Every structure is written in C-alpha cells, then in structure tokens.
Amino acid sequence: MFEYPLPHPEPPVEFEEILLTEAVIQKRVKELGEQVSKDYQEKDLHLVALLKGALVFLADFSRALQIQVTLDFMVVSSYISAKSSGEARILKDLELPIKGRHVLVVEDIIDNGVTLQAIMETLKLRKPASIKICTLLDKSEARKIPVKPDYNGFTVPNKFLIGYGLDFEEKYRNFPYVAVLKKEAYESH
C-alpha cells in the first residue's frame, strides 16, 4: 500500500498503490544513463522520444547521460482511453533526418508492442546506422508482438499504470512516481 510519509500531492483515491517511488525511479534512471553513456561513448547518439508519455522519462534520462546527444520527437497514438486500439498512427513526425545516425528510441512503456513495432519499421526504412529501444517500463506479460527493449528500467505487472509521464485520460502525467490505477476507475469509462 501507500508509503509514509505520503508524497505530495496526496495520491488520489483512484490509485490502488504506488508501484515505483520517486527515489526508486531516479536511481534506476541514473543507472540507465550510465549504461547508455558507456555503450555509446564513441558514437553520436540521437534520441527519439515518443510523446507525450516519454516526456518525463526523457527529461531525467537525457540529463543522466554523460555523453553529448541530439533530441527529436515523434507523436504517435495507439491508445484510446485504457484500451488499446491495436494500431499506431503518426500524429507528428520527426523534424530531423536519421539516416546514418545512431538512434535510441525512448519510450515510457511497452505494452502489447503494436506502437513500437510500427514505429521501428517506419524508422528502419530511413536507414539509421543503428536503432535501439530504451523504455522505462516493460509490461512484458501484455505483449502481442515480440518487441524487446535493449534497455529497460523496470519490468511491471499487467495493470494500468499512471504517473511519471503515463496518463489516464491525460491526467496524472506530472506525478513523480508510478502508481497502479484502480480497475473501477477505468472500467466505468
């Protein structure tokens, strides 16, 4: 259940529990930053973040890197409320070319894998020098399409999560921790 002292603001009643506290996330994000910095020491790294979910993770992760990087963003839609629509649509494409670049796609969470698979296929057609995936969360039990992250912060249970960039109907993205949303909260919608 909730950890004491309670984080501020107090968790809404729709939250079942806090799965990953702010401290736990921050520690892991630093580790990911160190690992990626080591692996890309000799390369020019280009981060491609999928908005909006990856925004908060990207902000912390990119600052945990000890190498120089460039950033670009893509807006993809695959989710309708708490249920996946099973397809990915590019709502906003990248601004910069990725041909010949070492690309690391930064995601908040991989769920059934449809979104990322579609994005990876599209991006590979543009001939990057390399392309890998870094996700904060991997809901591996929910996978329908075999997508494997090269870097993963946490493997999480197949529950609806919010906070640290993840939303439910656009709410809770700014919470510094990851919480489980009560089933009643999204099943009534």
Shorter beta-carbon distance to ligand IMP: residue 37 or 132: 132
Taking the least distance from each CB to ligand IMP, the nearer of 26 and 117 is 117
Nearest to 186 by CA among 160, 166, 158, 164: 160
Cβ atoms < 10 Å from Cβ of 152: 19
Positions touching Mg ion (CB under 5 A) are 53
According to CB under 6 A, which residues from 137 to 176 bind ligand IMP?
139, 160-162, 166
Could you check whether the bond before residue 128 is cis, i.e. omega within 30 degrees of 0? no
Amino acid type, 159? K
Alpha-carbon torsion angle 179, 183, 185, 189, nearest 10: 130
C-beta atoms surrounding 128 within 10 Å:
20
* Contact region with ligand IMP (CB under 6 A), list: 15-23, 27-35, 104-112, 126-134: 104-112
For residues 16 and 108, which CB has a smaller minimum distance to Mg ion in the complex?
108
Q: Which is nearer to ligand IMP, 25 or 50 (CB)?
A: 50
Listed ranges 12-20, 21-29, 36-44, 107-115: which one lies at the site for ligand IMP (CB under 6 A): 107-115
Kindly list the catalytic residues: 111
Residue nearest to Mg ion (CB): 53
Q: Which of 70, 141, 79 is nearest to 106 (CA)?
A: 70
Which x/- pattern over 61-90 shows residues binding ligand IMP (rule: CB under 6 A)? -----------------xx----x------
CA dist., res. 109 & res. 27, Å (int): 18
The conformation of residue 160, written as its DSSP 8-state character, comes to: -
Binding site for ligand IMP (CB under 6 A): 50, 53, 78-79, 84, 107-116, 139, 160-162, 166
